Structure 1
Amino acid sequence: MAISIIGAGVGRTGTYSLRLAINQLGYGPCHHMEEVLKNMDVQVPLWSETLKGNTNWSAIYKGFKSAVDWPTAGFFRELLKEYPIAKFILTERNPENWADSFGSTIYKLIEGRDKAPDKMRDWLKMANEVIIKTGFPQGLDREGLIDGFNAHNKAVREVIPAEQLLVFQVKDGWEPLCKFLNVAVPNDPFPRTNNREEFWELVNAGN
């Protein structure tokens, strides 16, 4: 099973809500960092090898039809080569709001990785390397985060062919997503979830 939808948007841009929406539209299961956290013994070594250039995409995405969020978003160039006809979704939001959200969740978690429980350290090490690869080394201030965010989104727009790319904000709801995927708009409200409090609940569930 090859994945057909790939999220190129970084964490804290509505990727968890997008994952729920993709699942609801029948393109799941959708891979997300939560899947890595739930299955660290298998997923972390695979992603760690990928960072070294030893990729095994079929093993990483075994059983999945789609993928969003990190680590996936850090490899959009490689994934375009591996899945040249896949559809890509770039989730965006206001850069200042994103920097505040990312800085108080993922960036803060990565910064404190040396104090994390032993079983989470390999996961955090891998996640840190993916985030660095995406353009966010440790030590950036708010402006540095904003610049990195804008640079990543610009790169995605330049690399992914326009006909294969949807630039999407979750606040826009079902219509642009369903049009891009050529499916009917559900009657249910578009899923909205994973605020900052829910982020820490997900992380702590992996401890």
Structure 2
Amino acid sequence: MKIIIASMSKCGTKTLHRCFEILGYSVADFDYHAYNHYHEWKTILEYGSRKEQLHDMYKNVDVVTGSPVFLYWEEIAEAFPNAKVILTTRKDEITWYRSLSREIPKCHNSWTIAFCYLLTPTGIQLRHHFDRVARVLYSIKGWGFSRKYDCSNMEIIIKRYREHNAGVLSRCRQDRLLHFNFCDGWETLCTFLGEDIPDEPFPHENKHGQLATSMWVLPVYVRMRREAYVIMAIIAILIAFLSQHFL
């Protein structure tokens, strides 16, 4: 493992993800953590982490990013002492909070997601994972059919953001840390990585919070959607059967 992206969600992490894909790195993002390491993260979020466990989880990928990895950047840095750390931040705390508080409901509070979270095996697993992440990261209450994720505790959420960024900047060894500004583009990023500048424009992903729609192409969400189609087909067959025999 080569790179730890310590940035909190809504700090350009999807753009960094795309940057590393262009550079040929393998990237583990939030969907990878939730699906491939569900049980490990359940243990870590409830009881704490071990360096050996984190090493085994991510020894075969180049880059880690997304929640809940950023909260454990320091433990992962200990597990991979040669890995570099990248931190990105927003121009101010209120801008970041507004972006986060818009995207979380868009991604998790629709009726489509509600159906998947309640009735599909993959959706149930994702819901339990995101419940733990929301509680630990932002003190957000768990998802429920009549209670969706609520980001109204602005003071607590901003405090977590402020403390996290300050912790990375103060505790990470400066020769392995890049506090990256996207305006600096490929030159600064590639110099830090020791990579050649690619012959592609610097990307800009998740514009205007498009993750709520684009996430449906991710493998774990494709699997969840397929399970939903199967369940809907079974429900339709049962309704047809009952209609023929009892109505």
TM over 0.5, shorter chain:
yes
Against the structure 1 CA distance between its residues 43 and 167, is the aligned structure 2 distance closer, same or farther, given a 3 Å change threshold?
A: same
Structure 1 stretches of 5 or more lacking a match?
none
* Cα distance change on mapping 1:158 and 1:131 into 2, 3 Å: farther
Query: Could you list the runs of 4 or more consecutive aligned residues of structure 1 that deviate by over 6 angstroms after TM superposition?
Result: none
CA RMSD of aligned residues (A): 2.6
Aligned residue for 1:48? 42
Residues 162, 203 of structure 1: CA spacing in aligned structure 2 closer, same or farther, 3 A cutoff?
same
1:145-188: CA deviations, max 9, x gaps?
32321111001112211111111133432122112112222231
Measure, in 2, the Cα distance between the counterparts of 1:96 and 1:75: 24
The aligned residue for residue 65 of structure 2 is 68
SS in 2 for 1:6: strand
Do 2:26 and 2:63's aligned partners in 1 also have CA atoms closer than 8 Å? yes
User: Cα distance 1:188–1:133, how it changes in 2: closer, same or farther (>3 A)?
Assistant: same
What is the CA–CA distance in structure 1 between the aligned matches of 2:29 and 2:125, rounded to whole Å?
Answer: 17
Structure having the higher helix fraction is 2
C-alpha displacement of 1:58: 3.9
The unaligned stretches of length 5 or more in structure 2 are 141-150, 225-247
Rounded to whole Å, the distance in 2 between the matches of 1:77 and 1:132 is 20
- 1:33-92 deviation digits (Å, cap 9, x = unpaired): 13235xx2x321122122223542244225311111212101012112211221000111
Partner of 1:163: 175
Q: In the alignment, does 2:139 pair up with 1:137?
A: yes
The one-letter code sitting in structure 1 at the alignment partner of 2:128 is K
Whole-Å Cα distance in 1 between the matches of residues 2 and 126 of structure 2?
Answer: 26
TM-score (norm 1): 0.82
Matches within 5 A, 1:6-25: 6-25=4-23
Report deviation, 1:18. Answer: 0.3
Largest Rg, 1 or 2: 2
Partners of 1:132 and 1:155 in 2: CA distance: 20
2: CA distance, partners of 1:189 / 1:165: 24
Q: 1:29 to 1:187 in 2, by over 3 A?
A: same
Q: Which of these residues, 115, 125, 128, is aligned with residue 128 of structure 2?
A: 125
Q: Does the CA-based 8 Å contact 1:110-1:128 persist in structure 2?
A: no
Aligned length: 200
Counterpart-to-counterpart distance in 2, 1:67 and 1:133:
19
Percent identical: 24
Q: TM-score, normalised by structure 2?
A: 0.70
Could you tell me which amino acid in structure 2 is paired with residue 117 of structure 1? L
Deviations 1:128-148 (A, max 9, x none): 4334444x1126533433232
Question: Which gives a bigger RCO, structure 1 or 2 (Cα 8 Å, sep 6+)?
Answer: 1
Match of 1:190 among 202, 207, 213: 202
CA–CA distance in structure 2, aligned partners of residues 187 and 203 of structure 1: 27
